[in-house]
């Protein structure tokens, strides 16, 4: 989770205020029973957002226009259902939605969602006929995927033409997949007779018929509650991208994910228009181990083992996830539109992402006769319900002690892809490396910041320290990295900047505030903002690395700045703190690293790859001519070959488990296998290698203050 679910004393006061105020203002069903659940919900959310959100918005014409635009866009992102006449009818309400929200008037919602259901049913009535005859793959035509720049169809005929192109794109993609499959079968068995293009084309259309039939069946099963949840989220997301309404079934799924047991491929997915996009890989999960799925990839189709793939473009995220997840040991095949632009089919064996995989672990490596320790921390974890259970701070303390026993001369902390977690543990971990002082400033709206400090004067590690981050190091990771940077305690190395999530959310169970017989779900709401000890917010800008290493996301807008409507960056007064200032060559080491990176063949290639990927994102149209489509796809694959050496790096260093873990490894073959995979990956990791180069160069002004090994 990127949000920090710390519920402190002030958060409880806000909840109490909401409860008390709602009673005194007659804002509950206790005093004024209302049989309409939708009106109760919209009233609750309006009140909670106004009173509790960190940066509340005025319900005015600007807000109305934002909700208007986003609700229509969320229902029909590719403009393939609504007609232009619908948009003209809806536009009468463009500046009235704020007034309707205040009056608990659902006219706009009912009009738009009702019309949407009508249009879906209309498309369902004609799509099948479009698949009865072969497509003309020799025709020179394209489909535009930058939907914000295309117009709604003015007539039914124009809408049918849009759907012809959509279905034809599916057919071309399916043809390519099946033709490749036929070639593979022939390679394995020379006597196998490959099917003709015509035979494959018929199979592809039949497959699309089945897929679309299932798709429209699910679409037409959606009820007004589903639509209203989407409408409420259009309102909440107008405040910021992390303020979300959870319908009852969504809240249950959220609770399960918080429990830490994940069964499936181990990836967090997000809806981006009509597409299902990979936004995070769970450390230790099946997808993470396989190494073929990447953040930024789009999942186009899902197949259960060797069964027919199901097209999930346009599918609701919840439904798509149902097909992707599954029981441990089962196979899922994903057809991906890779971040590099090509289409690729990968196979993943589902598994349970064990909690053990998110715990801190360490490794030892010897470089030029000197030992160094690496600690991997995938998450800032804690169990608030069990006070004596392990947490990331106590585990980090133990790992440092183990490394000290190994006589390491420096420690590297790997926070890549660490999406955050518990703020309290982030503060405690920062305290392991500084004597005492402020770590982070936490602020509620219109109030002075609360300076959270490390009060423990004990320093667990007083030697050289490097922190490795990337674009997906977020929230608590950014708090820790920022503190280490502000104190000049560690060299921060990695992506140009971290994720940039500097806000805190709290979960409000809505039935706690009204006496209503049905489950109303919950509201996840932004209530606080983080600031570094130097006064700068981590929001949007994240933490800028001392040494920026090129990677494939270097020129892309990823992280918080890729979200819609994020809160802005700002600055407050600096806290009173004293930098560590015990390195004798900090600036020299940073400059040396920058020079190495500039002259590195690997990082120069990584930089070229990043530019190529950025350029690939600018391609927004796809040819529907088979020969051109095939040529373009093969060209992308061929261009991508230029960067294959990025997967060939190996520093030939040997990484080993610390001595304390040896008895466990002798008893546990599964753990041994996991560590072997991790250690091999470390040796092939150019980013780890450069971080170790920095660690090896860092010198302290004297060694008297070093913690004794």
Query: Got the DSSP string for 181-216?
Result: HHHHHHHH-TT--PPPHHHHHHHHHHHHHHHHHHHH
Select which of 475, 495, 593, 657 is catalytic. 475
Cβ neighbours, 10 Å, residue 46: 16
Residues whose CB falls within 8 Å of the CB of residue 238, separated by 6 or more in sequence, listed in order: 57, 63, 66, 67, 70, 565
C-alpha distances in angstroms, 177 versus 157, 159, 168, 343, 552? 30, 28, 14, 9, 26
Select which of 98, 177, 414, 486 is catalytic. 486
> Which H/E stretch holds residue 526?
strand 522-531
Read off φ and ψ for residue 339, nearest 5 degrees. -60, -25
Residue 197's closest CA among 137, 140, 129? 137
Residues 578 and 465: their CA atoms lie apart, in Å, by 18
Cβ neighbours, 10 Å, residue 172: 23
Select which of 501, 524, 529, 674 is catalytic. 501
Residue given tokens 């991208």 in the structure block: 241
Residue 443's closest CA among 537, 513, 329, 514? 537
The strand pairing partners of 375, in sequence order, are 362, 413
Q: What does DSSP say about strands 464-469 and 491-494: parallel, antiparallel, or unpaired?
A: parallel
SS3 472: coil
Residues 105 and 341: their CA atoms lie apart, in Å, by 45
DSSP character at residue 151:
P
Q: What does DSSP say about strands 370-376 and 410-414: parallel, antiparallel, or unpaired?
A: parallel
SS3 370: strand
**Crossing angle for the helix pair 156-188 and 107-130, nearest 10 degrees?**
50
Query: Got the DSSP string for 258-299?
Result: HTT-EEES-EEEEEETTEEEEEEE-TTSHHHHH----TT-EE
Q: Are 639 and 615 in contact (CB under 8 A)?
A: no
486 tagged catalytic: yes
Read off φ and ψ for residue 109, nearest 5 degrees. -60, -50
SS3 51: helix
Residue 499's closest CA among 475, 468, 467, 532? 475
Cβ neighbours, 10 Å, residue 659: 11
Q: Are 314 and 215 in contact (CB under 8 A)?
A: yes
Q: Which two tokens stand for residue 412?
A: 């590297």
Residue 468's closest CA among 490, 487, 486? 490
102 tagged catalytic: no
Query: Got the DSSP string for 607-660?
Result: HHHHHHHHHHHT--EEE-SHHHHHHHHHHHHHHHGGGGGGG-------EE--GG
Residues whose CB falls within 8 Å of the CB of residue 488, separated by 6 or more in sequence, listed in order: 579, 580, 581, 583, 586
Cβ neighbours, 10 Å, residue 408: 26
475 tagged catalytic: yes
Task: Give a three-class secondary structure readout of 84-120.
Answer: HHHHHHHHHHCCCHHHHHHCCCCHHHHHHHHHHHHHH
C-alpha distances in angstroms, 171 versus 130, 133, 176? 12, 12, 9
Q: Which residues are catalytic?
A: 475, 486, 501
């Amino acid at each position: 989770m990127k949000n920090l679910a710390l519920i402190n004393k002030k958060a409880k006061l806000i909840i109490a205020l909401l409860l008390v105020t709602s009673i005194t203002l007659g804002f509950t069903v206790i005093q004024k029973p209302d049989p309409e659940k939708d009106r109760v919900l919209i009233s609750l959310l309006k009140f909670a957002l106004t009173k509790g959100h960190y940066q509340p918005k005025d319900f005015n014409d600007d807000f109305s226009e934002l909700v208007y635009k986003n609700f229509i866009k969320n229902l029909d992102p590719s403009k393939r259902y609504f007609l232009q006449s619908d948009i003209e009818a809806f536009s009468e309400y463009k500046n009235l939605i704020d007034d309707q929200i205040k009056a608990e008037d659902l006219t706009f919602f009912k009009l738009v969602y009702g019309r949407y259901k009508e249009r879906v049913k209309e498309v369902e009535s004609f799509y099948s006929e479009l698949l009865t005859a072969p497509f003309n793959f020799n025709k020179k035509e394209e489909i535009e995927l930058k939907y914000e720049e295309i117009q709604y169809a003015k007539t039914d005929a124009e809408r049918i033409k849009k759907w012809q192109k959509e279905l034809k794109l599916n057919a071309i993609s399916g043809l390519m997949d099946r033709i490749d499959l036929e070639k593979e079968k022939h390679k394995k068995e020379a006597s196998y007779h490959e099917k003709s293009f015509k035979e494959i084309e018929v199979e592809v259309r039949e497959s699309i018929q089945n897929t679309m039939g299932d798709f429209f069946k699910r679409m037409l099963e959606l009820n007004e509650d589903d639509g209203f949840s989407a409408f409420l989220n259009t309102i909440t997301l107008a405040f910021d991208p992390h303020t979300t309404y959870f319908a009852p079934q969504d809240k249950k799924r959220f609770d399960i994910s918080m429990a830490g047991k994940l069964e499936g491929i181990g990836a967090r997915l997000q809806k981006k228009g009509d597409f299902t996009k990979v936004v995070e890989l769970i450390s230790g999960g099946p997808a993470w181990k396989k190494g073929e799925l990447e953040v930024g990839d789009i999942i186009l189709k899902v197949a259960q083992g060797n069964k027919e793939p199901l097209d999930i473009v346009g599918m609701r995220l919840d439904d798509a996830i149902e097909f992707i997840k599954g029981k441990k040991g089962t196979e899922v095949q994903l057809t991906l539109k890779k971040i590099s632009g090509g289409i690729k089919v990968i196979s993943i064996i589902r598994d349970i992402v064990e909690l053990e995989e998110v715990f801190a672990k360490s490794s030892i490596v010897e470089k030029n006769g000197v030992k160094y320790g690496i600690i991997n921390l995938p998450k800032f974890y804690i169990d608030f319900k069990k006070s004596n259970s392990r947490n990331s701070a106590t585990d980090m303390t133990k790992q440092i002690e183990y490394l000290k026993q190994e006589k390491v001369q420096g420690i590297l902390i790997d926070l890549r892809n660490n999406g955050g977690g518990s703020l309290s543990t982030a503060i405690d971990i920062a305290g392991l490396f500084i004597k005492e002082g402020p770590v982070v400033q936490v602020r509620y709206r219109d109030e002075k910041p609360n300076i959270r400090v490390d009060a423990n004067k004990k320093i667990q590690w007083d030697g050289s320290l490097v922190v490795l981050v990337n674009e997906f190091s977020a929230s608590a990771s950014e708090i820790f990295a920022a503190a280490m940077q502000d104190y000049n305690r560690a060299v921060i190395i990695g992506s140009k900047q971290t994720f940039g999530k500097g806000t805190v959310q709290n979960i409000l169970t809505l039935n706690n505030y009204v006496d209503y017989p049905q489950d109303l779900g919950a509201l996840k709401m932004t209530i606080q903002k983080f600031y570094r000890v130097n006064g700068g917010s981590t929001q949007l800008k994240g933490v800028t690395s001392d040494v920026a290493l090129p990677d494939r996301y270097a020129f892309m807008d990823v992280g918080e700045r890729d979200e819609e409507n994020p809160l802005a960056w700002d600055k407050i007064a600096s806290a009173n703190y004293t930098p560590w200032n015990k390195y004798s060559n900090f600036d020299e080491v940073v400059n040396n690293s920058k020079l190495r990176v500039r002259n590195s063949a690997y990082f120069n290639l990584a930089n070229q790859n990043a530019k190529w990927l950025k350029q690939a994102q600018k391609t927004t149209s796809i040819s529907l001519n088979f020969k051109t489509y095939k040529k373009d796809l093969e060209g992308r694959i061929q261009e991508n070959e230029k960067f294959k050496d990025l997967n060939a790096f190996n520093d030939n260093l040997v990484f080993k488990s610390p001595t304390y873990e040896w008895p466990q490894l002798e008893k546990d073959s599964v753990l041994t296998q996991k560590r072997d995979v991790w250690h091999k990956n470390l040796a092939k990791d150019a980013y780890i290698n450069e971080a170790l180069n920095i660690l090896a160069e860092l010198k302290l002004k004297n060694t008297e203050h070093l913690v004794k090994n």
